[in-house]
Amino acid sequence: MVSTTGARIGGLHACSAGNPGAGGASADGPWLAIAAGTWDSTTKLAVEGAVSWPTAKYTEVVQDGKRVMTTNNLPVDGQTGTFPIAPTDPAYAYDRNPGTITETPTTVTIEQVAAAAATPACIAEGAVGLLKNGVFLFNALDGRGDDAVAHESQDLCDGHPAMTTYHYHNVPSCIRDASPDASTVVGWAYDGFPIVLERDARGALPSNADLDECHGRTSPIRVDGAVLTQYHYSVTLEFPYTIGCWKGTAPAASRGGPPGGRPATG
């Protein structure tokens, strides 16, 4: 599932192994079947609360061959749970995330038209993209190198903070549920390729078997008002959920967004 030596379909090519001492869930939830390597999203606890953020903002403009996105990393027209996770919250029994949510003003600039690199590259810890609701997308792993979506506790929109930075590890359910069309660009990876939520005639998302080792494919999608046949990362319900390796030129860490991880919790 996770490899530091190369990319493969259904996996994530990480630049480094996880740190066993990193912060994360404090106990395995009953929704996890550790021996089988599976989990049940329908029984997983969500962090309580429904907090609105009226100051949230996100803008996106294309100019001079660049796509410039500005955000304060609060969910536009969305809600979060209440953080830090309260001891009275049932999720606290499994995850004691002490983080808070604060504004993180950021400008991300990527190429308007991305190009594939000669060789796919590994994914480092931290932000890998920005969703169009203004929230950072991290890779699928927690600081320990485990599937963060399965192990860590998230809120009603599948997000949580790393210290003070709110983020997702997948394209969250609130965005998926609001995107019924065959092709919806829901965000941008930092190498310039779009992150696309695709549905077939039955409304189903692709599976890992439909995608390449970087969790993407080339197919017709609607970008900036036009239907183009181009490479993109595709959203799935299966790990690694969005990006398995960098298909384009691996972005510098300073391109936008914070590093991943959060402080250890007791």
What is the per-residue pLDDT across 187-201, written as a single tens digit (0 to 9) for each? 999 999 999 999 999
Tokens of 240: 């690694």
Domain spans of the chain?
Answer: 2-18+48-255
Helix (H, G, I), strand (E, B) or coil at 213: coil
Residue-level pLDDT at 260: 52
Residue-level pLDDT at 252: 55
Alpha helices in 46-205 (DSSP H): 148-151, 173-177
Q: What secondary structure letter does DSSP report for 254?
A: G
Query: For 124-136, what is each residue's pLDDT tens digit?
Result: 988 999 999 999 9
Instruction: Give the residues across from 61 on adjacent strands.
Output: 68
Alpha-carbon distance 31 to 33, whole Å?
7
- Residue 80's identity, in one-letter code, is T
Query: For 8-55, what is each residue's pLDDT tens digit?
Result: 999 999 999 888 888 899 999 999 999 998 999 999 999 999 999 999
Residue-level pLDDT at 264: 44
Which element (helix H / strand E) includes 52?
Answer: strand 51-52
Task: Answer whether 194's CB lies under 8 Å from 209's CB.
Answer: no
Alpha-carbon distance 186 to 35, whole Å?
34
**pTM of the predicted protein model:** 0.94
Alpha helices in the chain (DSSP H): 148-151, 173-177
Going from the C-alpha of 231 to that of each of 11, 44, 173, the distances in angstroms are 18, 33, 24
Query: Chain centroid to CA 101: how far?
Result: 17
Residue where the block lists tokens 């869930």? 25
Residue where the block lists tokens 């106990």? 27
